[in-house]
Chains A and B, each alone.
Chain A
Amino acid sequence: DAKTTQPPSMDCAEGRAANLPCNHSTISGNEYVYWYRQIHSQGPQYIIHGLKNNETNEMASLIITEDRKSSTLILPHATLRDTAVYYCIVRHSLNNAGNMLTFGGGTRLMVKP
């Protein structure tokens, strides 16, 4: 699976949009981009994933550049409860690829009042 690069930490004001970048310049055409977050003392929580198109769900939006070499996770109105470590991961799309996720260091997002 392709390696990802994320900034180690970011701050965001409560109520503002949080934009978390991820670089995955070696991604291949059949690899998905996944985002998880981990709040202290809890297991990672699935947020969203996408292959080529932008995706949106009740938690966040995922914007993938046209060349797929980078993506941005957007939390539209950040709250204090969004303070967490956010992980960007790429996964192969094949059905028999298995479920091994390779976690990097992630981005520690601090939402401030």
Chain B
Amino acid sequence: KAGVTQTPRYLIKTRGQQVTLSCSPISGHRSVSWYQQTPGQGLQFLFEYFSETQRNKGNFPGRFSGRQFSNSRSEMNVSTLELGDSALYLCASSEGSGGNQPQHFGDGTRLSIL
């Protein structure tokens, strides 16, 4: 099976712009979660989608949003970009949401804000 695929791998934006990141989960996986990783804050949970519904949301401002499509692919959007949004954005997928089902991560999109 192919792993979790995230596109693009690298992205450069300027303050005030918006950006959309894409995640294709492992085939058959219905849950997709997004995380932000920065040197200062480490890995932080953004949100989770399961069967096109957002189930959990981390402590991030409303500028961060996401959605999931019927084929389980997911996108996240960040509007009005700030310098502090520079980070590695990671997507993870799992078959379901039980504690006995591991999540598998992609290699992320590295977003740089100028």
Residues of A within 8 A of B (CB): 30-32, 34, 36, 41-46, 49, 51, 87, 91-105
Contacts and interface: CB of A to CB of B under 8 A. Distances in A.
B108 A93 contact: no
A98 B90 contact: no
Given A43-B105, A44-B90, A45-B105, A97 B98 contact: yes
A99 B90 CA distance: 14
B113 to A, nearest CB: 19
B104 interface: yes
Given A43-B90, A44-B90, A100-B48, A95 B97 contact: yes
Interface of B: 4, 31, 33, 35, 42-45, 48, 50, 55-56, 58, 90, 92, 94, 96-100, 102-108
Nearest to B105: A43
Given A44-B105, A103-B43, 7 more contacts: A30-B99, A36-B105, A43-B90, A46-B103, A97-B99, A99-B94, A101-B103
Nearest to A48: B102
14 contacts: A31-B99, A34-B102, A41-B107, A42-B107, A43-B107, A44-B92, A46-B103, A46-B105, A49-B102, A95-B98, A96-B97, A98-B55, A99-B92, A101-B92
